[in-house]
Amino acid sequence: MTSTSTQAYVLAAKDAPFVLQVLELDEPQPNEVLVEVVACGICHTDLAVQNGSFPSPFPSTVGHEGSGKVVKVGTAVTRVQPGDEVLLSFSHCSECGSCQEDHPAACDKFGECNFGRIRNTAIGGKASGKSSTGEEVYGTFFGQSTFAKHALVVENSVVKVPAGTDLVQLAPLGCGLQTGAGAVINKLAPSSSSSILITGLGAVGFGALFAAAHLKLETIVVVDIVPSRLELAKSLGATHAFNGMDKDVVEQVKAVTKYGGGVNYAVECTGNVRVLKTAYDATANRGHVVSCGTPGPGNPVPIDIFANVIASKTYSGLSEGDSNPPVFIPFLIELFNKGKFPVDKISKTFKFEDLEGALHAMHSGETIKPILVMQ
């Protein structure tokens, strides 16, 4: 058996720093693809593994907004062949009801497939590679683990894209951006006369904003606490922008809606329970509030059942924007190519060696979507 020598950022344990190491990757299993990684967006979920809010085995490699070129394929792979250009997204089991009905983001085994480090369900969990000292390192985070120059990727995380696709700027489509865009397009599907509120202007929030602007919604309200993000959102299609620190933000949102009773739809992207309550309160009767962000396990929804019945409101949770990546990602690429999904307006690229700088830019709020470029 031959192996591929590569470089990857490894977390030795919970709260350990990312350390660049040489890894020997295994040969692809039948359902795996060896990808030479071109770029990878950085998402808060990667850092949740580092700080332990997402349980993970260690030592571990993360990164789940990758793009690249296929180098080798396992014997059972049919989606791609060597030389194909790909964007990478979440993994799923392909067998449960949701997967069978083309809603893989609601897979019964979403947790195991994306955080459980399962390489091949028939073979059982196994590490993807070995460090120079021979220690096994866990990969396949979201089916990919792409804070690395090469990655062993589960076939159903792979989306073939047309040659010449911008693999750097579009690398992050596979997680946060499709989550926000999918919430609007796949789940809420509002008519253009509707009003929508988007709380939280990270990648998910901007994905939702781009989608709402593409659908030409009459009223698109954004709420965040960073003034520069509110300004940016206004330049990219938001009709109204309010600061979430304002005590009367609910009244401010209601005041700009047609009948003054609130928005028809709200997309909550922060995962903050207090912000969810704000979004709910700013939604009109018969409206629909969807949570894309989460505060982690153990937090109940702050909704009074009686008041909710009286208001005939809908509250729902949504994973990955109900995206079916092989269909939805090419659709988003087309929008990008038409200038209608300007992800490059919210991102900044960093050299692979400068993960530190990228993380700093993310923490300081200066960059919404840092992208690591591997070569």
Tokens representing 181 are 């865009």
The closest alpha carbon to 137, from 11, 4, 3, 47, belongs to 11
What does the alpha-carbon distance between residue 359 and residue 11 come to, in Å, rounded to a whole number? 15
Q: State the nearest-atom distance from the C-beta of 93 to Zn ion, in Å.
A: 3
- Applying CB under 5 A, the span of 144-152, 175-183, 249-257, 330-338 interacting with Zn ion comes to 175-183
Q: Does 368 bind Zn ion (CB under 5 A)?
A: no
Shorter beta-carbon distance to Zn ion: residue 186 or 219: 186
In order, the DSSP letters of 208-225 are: HHHHHHHTT-SEEEEEES
Q: State the nearest-atom distance from the C-beta of 221 to Zn ion, in Å.
A: 25
Shorter beta-carbon distance to Zn ion: residue 141 or 242: 141
Write the burial class of residue 309 (CB in 10 Å: 0-12 exposed, 13-18 middle, 19+ buried): exposed
Q: Does 175 bind Zn ion (CB under 5 A)?
A: yes
Shorter beta-carbon distance to Zn ion: residue 77 or 99: 99
The closest alpha carbon to 40, from 2, 15, 7, 16, belongs to 7
What x/- string results for residues 19 through 58 when contact with Zn ion is judged by CB under 5 A?
------------------------x-x-------------
Shorter beta-carbon distance to Zn ion: residue 92 or 254: 92
Tell me the site size for Zn ion, rule CB under 5 A. 8
- Applying CB under 5 A, the span of 28-36, 72-80, 174-182, 249-257 interacting with Zn ion comes to 174-182
What does the alpha-carbon distance between residue 100 and residue 107 come to, in Å, rounded to a whole number? 9
Shorter beta-carbon distance to Zn ion: residue 107 or 167: 107
| Residue carrying structure tokens 């962000």 | 293
Q: Does 99 bind Zn ion (CB under 5 A)?
A: yes
Query: At what angle are helices 203-214 and 227-235 packed, to 10 degrees?
Result: 20
Shorter beta-carbon distance to Zn ion: residue 113 or 266: 113
In order, the DSSP letters of 15-77 are: TPPEEEEEEEEPPPPTTEEEEEEEEEE--HHHHHHHTTSS---SSB----SEEEEEEEE-TT-
What x/- string results for residues 106 through 135 when contact with Zn ion is judged by CB under 5 A?
-x----------------------------
Shorter beta-carbon distance to Zn ion: residue 139 or 287: 139
Q: State the nearest-atom distance from the C-beta of 370 to Zn ion, in Å.
A: 13
Is residue 55 within 8 Å of 14, Cβ to Cβ?
no
What does the alpha-carbon distance between residue 238 and residue 206 come to, in Å, rounded to a whole number? 10
What x/- string results for residues 59 through 98 when contact with Zn ion is judged by CB under 5 A?
---------------------------------xx--x--
- Applying CB under 5 A, the span of 52-60, 114-122, 173-181, 206-214 interacting with Zn ion comes to 173-181
What does the alpha-carbon distance between residue 288 and residue 31 come to, in Å, rounded to a whole number? 39
Q: State the nearest-atom distance from the C-beta of 176 to Zn ion, in Å.
A: 5
Q: State the nearest-atom distance from the C-beta of 108 to Zn ion, in Å.
A: 5
Tokens representing 41 are 């967006």
- 328 to 28, 95, 163, 215: CA distances (angstroms): 26, 20, 18, 15
What x/- string results for residues 234 through 253 when contact with Zn ion is judged by CB under 5 A?
--------------------
Shorter beta-carbon distance to Zn ion: residue 39 or 221: 39
Q: State the nearest-atom distance from the C-beta of 343 to Zn ion, in Å.
A: 14
Q: State the nearest-atom distance from the C-beta of 203 to Zn ion, in Å.
A: 8
- Number of other residues whose CB lies within 10 A of the CB of residue 351: 12
The closest alpha carbon to 80, from 69, 90, 64, 89, belongs to 69
User: Max CA-CA distance within the chain?
Assistant: 68
Q: State the nearest-atom distance from the C-beta of 172 to Zn ion, in Å.
A: 8
Q: State the nearest-atom distance from the C-beta of 369 to Zn ion, in Å.
A: 10
Q: State the nearest-atom distance from the C-beta of 94 to Zn ion, in Å.
A: 6
Binding residues (CB under 5 A) for Zn ion: these are: 43, 45, 92-93, 96, 99, 107, 175
